[in-house]
Structure 1
Amino acid sequence: MQIQRIQEVQQQKLFFEEEGYLIIEDLLSSQEIKKCQNEIESLHLQCKDFLDKNDPRKNHFQMEPFRKEENCDDELPILRKIERTRDLSEVFDQLAKHPHLVKAVQNLIGENLLLFRSTLMLKPAFHGSAHGLHQDSAYWPMEPPKLVTVSIAINDATTENGCFKIIPRSHKWGLREWGGIARRHDAPITDRDDVDPSDQVEVPLKAGSALLFHSLMVHGSGANLSPKPRNTALYAYFSSDVRYKPQSGKSMQRTFPVIAGLNGQTELTLTSEES
């Protein structure tokens, strides 16, 4: 099966609803791509500073669990991901509001957009771990599970450096349990015996292009054993009819940034109906 690229805006929503994904080519300009690449370098330096000073913000940075020590640069941390990027970086805060991106997501789920997550997923050259097959909504306390995840390629994403792999139409399977995501390059991509890994389809992307997919879409990615990094700016959006439903013991309230709509509000606090 080949990944399809739908250009007509009128057809994109129907395609997304049926297939569970959408590709937006050339979302970012070459200048915007370079700005993001430079910002990722700055965030690595920021992480080192937080670690040296034992700053609590160090917890937003996750080290690559399967990094190879012989290939490590002692000057900078080898990172797997950076969470809450909109709080750490003006560049990635503004990227979440990029007008072309907002318009594309609104076309799929409506005018009122809230932001659930802002993250950088990093696959460092020679180090980047594989991501086992999973559904985002299996880990997110939001109901109904119909968020849109956006993955923007900051570098060219290829087979060699661990591009996304998806199972088209798997968003219709319903919610399942998946276990751990980060995996060694030689580990099975899933522990489930009811999922056929051969159903995966690779999604190579040029830098600046984006993959949008339903939060129930089954997806993963290969390891990066290549000399080139594969960095992705990842955002998850939801509409105002989605509710916050935390696990037992978690806070019953959570405040989310408003990206568009809702009469110009900048944020919205959701309270669990089970409180």
Structure 2
Amino acid sequence: MHLTPEQIDTYREQGFLAVRNVFTPDEVAELQRVTDEFVERSREVTAHTDVFDLEPGHTAAEPRLRRLKAPHRRHPAYDRALRNEAVLAVVRQLVGDSVRFQNTKLNLKSPEFGSPVEWHQDWAFYPHTNDDVLAVGIAVDDMMLENGCLMVVPGSHQGPVHDHHQDGVFAGAVPADGLTEQAVPIELRAGDVSVHHARLLHGSAPNRSQRPRRFLLFEYAAADAWPLVDFPGWEAFNERLLCGEPTVTPRVEPVPVRIPLPKHAREGSIYEVQSALGRSAFASEM
């Protein structure tokens, strides 16, 4: 999968990109089937676990799975998607030939519900020594404005790292302050992928449709971008290497950084962290 010079320029200038038809219909069908199986399994739990993050109102009769944590560990289909050569070809063209993954998650929005994700920069959660860090989102379903597709603020990756704290603790979100009016949607068909820079402001509204919206997210970094918080240890760090060779020489660049500390009592997924906010930026849409 080769990006055109125009696509690369768009990513550099705007901070995001949509790439069409990266996954085949058969690959999409497998991801949909496996995801359905995990939603079924979530009927068995009544509280968050190390695998499942649940929507408010989740029940065995009406399962509302909000997030599948570390999906690459849960099923080979997700791990294959993480290592998909077409995806890695896109990533290498944007951050270089040596690539490490940062983390993985599958976010789900139930029909006519689905928790919003408040405005934030991924960079606020995991600053590195340089900002060749990005997220690839795989559309497991068609993702349109009405079912809560990703919204981004073009060019915001070139600006400041905003304060994601509230009342003295890290809350994982920034005040809306007109961001929704500046934002544009990244609408995708199933099998398309989005790419966004770690410093890009983004969020997503609740699902207002009767269709599910399931979004498989993989965060990748250049191998010489070292995390400034939560370093997992040398062996675990290099187990995440997907392309190239490990290095003991971090590339340090003058990028703006805020450390996501102190943490508040409801530490967990982004939904739990953002629960420290008094009011959702998308409250009128819920």
CA apart distance, 1:228: 0.6
Residue 136 of structure 2 aligns to a residue whose secondary structure is strand
Other structure's SS at 1:150 match: strand
Q: 1:244: how far off?
A: 2.1
> Match for 1:208 among 175, 183, 191?
191
Q: Secondary structure at the match of 2:32?
A: helix
1:60 matched to 2:55? The reply is no
Distance in 2, matches of 1:204 and 1:21, equals: 12
CA RMSD of aligned residues (A): 2.8
Within the candidate set 17, 20, 26, 1:25 is matched to 20
User: Which secondary structure does the structure 1 equivalent of 2:21 belong to?
Assistant: coil
In the aligned structure 1, how far is the partner of 2:152 from the partner of 2:31?
25
Q: Distance in 1 between matches of 2:161 and 2:152?
A: 16
SS in 1 for 2:146: coil
Q: Which residue of 2 aligns with 1:41?
A: 36
- More strand by proportion, 1 or 2? 1
**Residue 237 (str. 1) matches residue 220 (str. 2):** yes
In structure 2, C-alpha distance between the alignment counterparts of 1:270 and 1:203, rounded to whole Å: 36
Q: Quote how far apart the aligned CAs of 1:142 are.
A: 2.8
What is the CA–CA distance in structure 1 between the aligned matches of 2:36 and 2:62, rounded to whole Å? 9
Taking structure 1 as reference, are residues 269 and 116 closer, same or farther at Cα in structure 2, changes over 3 Å only?
farther
Partner of 2:8: 13
The normalised TM-score by structure 2 is 0.76
1:167 positional shift: 0.6
Q: 2:69 aligns with which of 83, 87, 93?
A: 83
Which residue pairs with 2:242 in the alignment?
A: 259
Query: 1:34 is paired with a residue of what secondary structure?
Result: helix
- For residues 213 and 179 of structure 2, the distance between their equivalents in structure 1, rounded to whole angstroms, comes to 25
Which of 191, 215, 220 does residue 175 from structure 2 map onto? 191
SS at match of 1:114: strand
- Could you say what secondary structure the match of 2:7 adopts? helix
* Equivalent position SS for 1:58: coil
Q: CA deviation at 1:191?
A: 2.0
Residue number in structure 2 paired with 1:154: 140
Q: Does the residue aligned with 1:100 lie in a helix, a strand or coil?
A: helix
Query: Which runs of 4 or more aligned residues in structure 1 lie more than 3 Å from their structure 2 counterparts after TM superposition?
Result: 45-49, 179-182, 250-254, 268-271
Answer with 108-117 or 7-16: which moved more. Answer: 7-16
Q: 1:119 aligns with which of 79, 102, 105?
A: 105
Aligned length: 243
How far apart in 2 are the matches of 1:100 and 1:153? 15
| Pairwise CA distance, 1:143 | 2.7
* Cα displacement (A) at 1:110: 0.7
Instruction: Report deviation, 1:127.
Output: 2.0
Identity across matched positions, percent: 23
TM-score, normalised via structure 1 length: 0.79
| Partner Cα distance (2:216, 2:37) in 1 | 15
Instruction: Measure the CA separation in 1 of the matches of 2:194 and 2:232.
Output: 32
Report if the CA contact (8 A) 1:64-1:127 is conserved: no
Q: Which residue of 2 aligns with 1:219?
A: 202
Change (3 A) 1:97 1:62: same
- SS of 2:29's partner is helix
CA gap 1:246/1:17 in 2 versus in 1, 3 angstroms = same
Whether the 8 Å contact between 1:146 and 1:238 is mirrored in structure 2 is yes
Give 1:149 shift.
0.4
Q: Which secondary structure state, in structure 1, belongs to the residue aligned with residue 67 of structure 2?
A: strand
CA distance in 1, matches of 2:18, 2:112: 27
Contact kept in structure 1, 2:3 and 2:93, CA below 8 Å? no
Offset of 1:141 from its aligned partner? 4.5
Unaligned 5+ segments in structure 2 are 166-170, 253-286
Preserved contact between residue 20 and residue 191 of structure 2 (Cα < 8 Å): yes
Offset of 1:235 from its aligned partner?
0.3
What CA distance in whole angstroms lies between the structure 1 residues aligned with 2:249 and 2:39? 33
Counterpart for residue 271 of structure 2: none
List gaps (5 residues or longer) in structure 1: 1-6, 183-189
